[in-house]
Amino acid sequence: MPAKLYKLNASPPARAAMMACEIFKVPVEMVNVDFVKGETLTPEYLKMNPLHTIPVFADGDLVIHNSHAILIYLAEVYGKDSSFYPKDVKQRALINQKLFFDDGVLFAKLRNITYPAFALGQRGLTEQQLKDLEECYEFLEEILSRQKYIALDHITIADVAAYATVFVLDYILPLNAKYSKLSAWLKEMDKQPYAVKHKAEGLNMLATYINSPVNSK
C-alpha cells in the first residue's frame, strides 16, 4: 500500500511535505484534512497524532507528525537526488540548523498571527506582529547575504521548508525593496516545478482562511 500524507493545502508545513513528495517522487496518497470541521480531533486522527496538527505522514507502521522530520525521512528513504539532503555531516548540520530555524522562528511567528485570528477572533495585525514579520525578513535577508540559498549554495530541504512558510508571510505582509536578496530567493523558489504545482491550490485556500481575519480591522 502507498504511504499517506494527511494534509491541508493552506498549511505551510503540509505544503512543504507535499513539495517534498513531488521532489522525491514518493508513491503517496494525499488525504485532505479539514481542521475547521474538526477532522484533526477525531479518535482516528488523534491516534496518529495526539498533537492534532497537520501534516501527518504514514508509511506502513511508521507515523510522523512533524513536517521537518517528514522532509528528512523522505529525503533519506525516497530521495535519489542527494543534493537536497547531502550525506556530508557538516552540510547536514547546516541544513538541520535552518530546519529548526523555520520550525522555531519563522513558522512560530506565523502561527502567532494565524492562531489569534482563527481561534480568538483577532482582526488585523498588532504592532508586535508586524515587528515580528519584519524581524523574520531581516533574519532571512542576512542569511541570504551569505549564500544564495537558506543553508547551502544550492536548494535543499531547508529551502523547501522555509519557502512554504515565507510564501504565506509574504502574502500577509508583502516584501519591500529593502529585502532584495530575500525577494530574489522567493522568486527563484516560485519557479521550481514542485512549487508551481502546489502554489495555486495553496493560494486559493489561503484567501479563504487568511484574508478575512488577518487583513481586516
Residues 123 and 60 grouped into a single domain: no
Helices 107-119 and 157-172 pack at an angle, to 10 degrees, of 40
Instruction: List phi, psi (to 5°) of 120.
Output: -115, -5
Structure pTM? 0.91
Residues 161 and 76 grouped into a single domain: no
Give the end of a domain, one of 65, 80, 95.
Answer: 80
Q: What is the CB neighbour count within 10 angstroms for residue 117?
A: 21
CA distance 110 to 15: 15
- For position 27, which CATH number holds? 3.40.30.10
Residues 108 and 161 grouped into a single domain: yes
Query: Domain count of the chain?
Result: 2
Q: Which of 11, 145, 212, 216 is catalytic?
A: 11
Q: Identify the domain containing residue 33 by its residue range.
A: 3-80
173-177-179 Cα angle (round to 5): 75
Measured over the CA atoms of residue 65, residue 11, residue 154 and residue 132, the dihedral's sign is negative
- For position 158, which CATH number holds? 1.20.1050.10
Residues 118 and 210 grouped into a single domain: yes
CA distance 196 to 202: 10
CA distance 165 to 107: 6
Per-residue model confidence as pLDDT tens for the chain (217 residues)? 789 999 998 889 999 999 999 999 999 999 999 887 889 999 999 999 999 999 999 999 999 999 999 999 999 999 998 999 999 999 999 999 999 999 999 999 998 887 666 655 556 678 888 899 999 999 999 999 999 999 999 999 999 999 999 998 998 899 999 999 999 999 999 999 999 988 766 666 666 655 544 554 4
Residues 41 and 10 grouped into a single domain: yes
Give the end of a domain, one of 80, 105, 121.
Answer: 80
Give the end of a domain, one of 80, 102, 129.
Answer: 80
In the annotation, is 183 catalytic? no
